[in-house]
Amino acid sequence: MNGFTKFSLLVTVIVGVALGLGTSVALLGQGGTVSVSIVDFAFNPKTITVPVGTTVRWTNNGSAPHTVTSTSSPRAFDSGTLNPGDSFEFTFKTAGQFPYFCEIHPSMRGMVIVEGQQEVQELALIHSLKEGKIFPETITVSKGVKVRLFNTALDGAHPSVVISSDEDGKNPVFGVKPFAVNPGQLMTIEFTPDKAGTFFISHRPHGHNIVGKLVVKE
Q: Please determine whether the domains at 3-26+118-217 and 33-115 fall in the same fold group of CATH.
A: yes
Q: Residue ranges of the domains in the chain? A: 3-26+118-217, 33-115
**Chunked mean pLDDT (size 10), the chain, 218 residues:** 48 45 36 90 95 93 97 96 98 93 97 85 93 94 92 92 95 95 93 95 88 95
What's the pLDDT score for residue 53?
Answer: 86
Q: Are strands 87-91 and 118-128 parallel, antiparallel or unpaired?
A: unpaired
What's the pLDDT score for residue 137?
Answer: 95
**Cβ(69)–Cβ(99) below 8 Å:** no
Task: Note if the pTM is more than 0.85.
Answer: no
200/202 Cα distance (integer angstroms)? 6
Handedness of CA 156, 121, 95, 86 (dihedral sign): negative
Could you count the other beta carbons within 10 Å of the beta carbon of residue 4? 8
What's the pLDDT score for residue 31?
Answer: 56
* The length of the chain, given as a count of residues: 218
What's the pLDDT score for residue 118?
Answer: 67
Rg from Cα positions in the chain: 24
* CATH class held by domain 3-26+118-217: mainly beta
- The CATH H-level (homologous superfamily) assignment of domain 33-115 is Cupredoxins -  blue copper proteins (2.60.40.420)
